[in-house]
Chains A and B, each alone.
Chain A
Amino acid sequence: MQALLQKKSGLHFPVHLQSVHAQEFLLGEVNFTNEELAMLVGLQENTKGLTRTTLLSLVALQELTGKIDRALLRNEPLAFINSSTVGGMCSVEDHYLDFIEPGKRGDFIQYINSSDCGDSTERAAHYFGLKPLMATISTACSSSANAIIMGARLIRQGVVKRAICGGTDALCRFTLNGFNSLKNVDKEPCRPFDQTRFGLNLGEGAGYLLLEKEADAIARGAEILAYLDGYTNSNDAYHPTAPSPDGAGAFRTMEQALKHAKLQPEAISYINAHGTATINNDAAEGLAIQQLFSPKVPYFSSTKAFTGHTLAAAGAIEAIFSIISLQQQAIFANLNFTTPMEELSITPVTDTIEDVSVQHVMSNSFGFGGNNVSLIFSK
Chain B
Amino acid sequence: MIKHPLYIKAACAISPQHSFGDTPILDPVVQSENNRLIALDVDYRAFINPVAIRRMSRLLKMSISAAIKCLQNAGVSMPDAIITGTGRGSAGDMQHFLKDMILMKEEALNPTFFIQSTYNAPNGWIALQSKSTGYNQTFVHRGISLELALLDAQLLLAEAGDHQNILIGCYDETTADYFVVKEKLNYWKKETIPSEHLYRNNETLGSIAGEGAAFFAVSGEKEGAVCSIASLEVIHQPAPTMIRNKVQEVLAANGLTTDDIDVVICGRSGDVRFEAWYGVLEDFATQTIAGFKHLCGEYETSSGFALWLAHQIFAQGTVPECTVLQKGDRKEIRHMLIINHFILDTVSVMLLKSLR
Contacts and interface: CB of A to CB of B under 8 A. Distances in A.
Interface in A37-94: 84-85, 89, 92-93
A109 interface: yes
A239 interface: yes
B133 A234 contact: yes
Interface range on chain B: under 10, 10 to 19, 20 to 34, or 35 or more?
35 or more
A296 B76 CA distance: 40
Contacts, number: 185
Interface in B173-214: 177, 180-185
A3 interface: no
Contacts of A89: 98
Given A20-B106, A109-B185, A139-B120, A134 B141 contact: yes
Interface string B1-45: 110000000000000000000000000000000000000000000
A166 B314 CA distance: 40
A371 B120 contact: yes
A370 B95 CA distance: 23
A282 to B, nearest CB: 19
B182 A240 contact: no
Nearest to A105: B184
A1 interface: no
B232 to A, nearest CB: 11
Contact of A116 (B101, B123, B142, B158): B142
B185 A235 contact: no
Contacts of A238: 128
A140 B118 contact: yes
Contacts of B97: 174, 177-178
A136 B123 contact: no
Interface in B120-146: 120-121, 123-125, 127-128, 130-142, 144-145
Contacts of A97: 102
B152 interface: yes
Contact of B101 (A93, A105, A131): A93
Given A96-B99, A153-B155, A370-B124, A139 B136 contact: yes
Contacts of B87: 116
Interface in B32-69: none
A116 B82 CA distance: 22
Contacts of B148: 135
Interface of A: 19-21, 84-85, 89, 92-93, 96-97, 99-102, 104-105, 109, 112-113, 115-118, 121-122, 131-140, 146, 150, 153-154, 156-157, 159, 173-174, 177-182, 233-241, 249, 252, 367-371
Given A157-B2, A240-B128, A368-B115, 11 more contacts: A116-B142, A136-B140, A139-B120, A177-B106, A178-B97, A178-B117, A234-B136, A236-B133, A241-B115, A368-B124, A371-B124
